[in-house]
Amino acid sequence: MSKAAAVSGATFDTEVLQSSVPVLVDFWAPWCPPCRAIAPSLDAIAEEYAGRAKVVKVNTDEEYDLTMRYGISNIPALLYFKDGELKDQIIGAAPQRAIAEKLAKLIG
């Protein structure tokens, strides 16, 4: 079971844009090998930053509107939000340390 909560078009604004803590959003799909490869790293980051940041997942196959809203054309796509604004992103698989460092910068 993933430590990153799934969000949908119905919950995205509340869970991400209105969050009181920074949010890392993983745009992924079940058929995507790089997405599956970074999933354990995202779970570890979600656990490490619990209470200080959130890690959530958006299934691009199920959430077409969100995928289009953020111009996602390649996955995995990791988008970093703080105070309702997109602050940074990583497109493609990246090492856990690189993913965590960007989140840590948003926490301050």
CATH of the domain at 98: 3.40.30.10
Structural domain span for residue 35: 5-107
> What pLDDT is attached to residue 3?
81
Mean pLDDT of all residues in 72-96: 97
Asked if 58 and 25 touch (Cβ cutoff 8 Å), the reply is yes
Evaluate if residue 1 carries a pLDDT over 70. Answer: no
The structural domain count of the chain equals 1
Mean pLDDT of all residues in 47-66? 96
Give me the sheet containing 77-82, strands edge to edge. Answer: 5-6, 54-59, 23-28, 77-82, 85-91
Q: pTM of the predicted model, to two decimals? A: 0.96
Q: What is the mean pLDDT of the chain?
A: 96
Residues annotated as part of the active site: 32, 35
Q: Which pLDDT belongs to residue 32? A: 97
Joined together, the tokens standing for residue 92 give 């493609």
How far is it, in rounded angstroms, from Cα 58 to Cα 26?
6
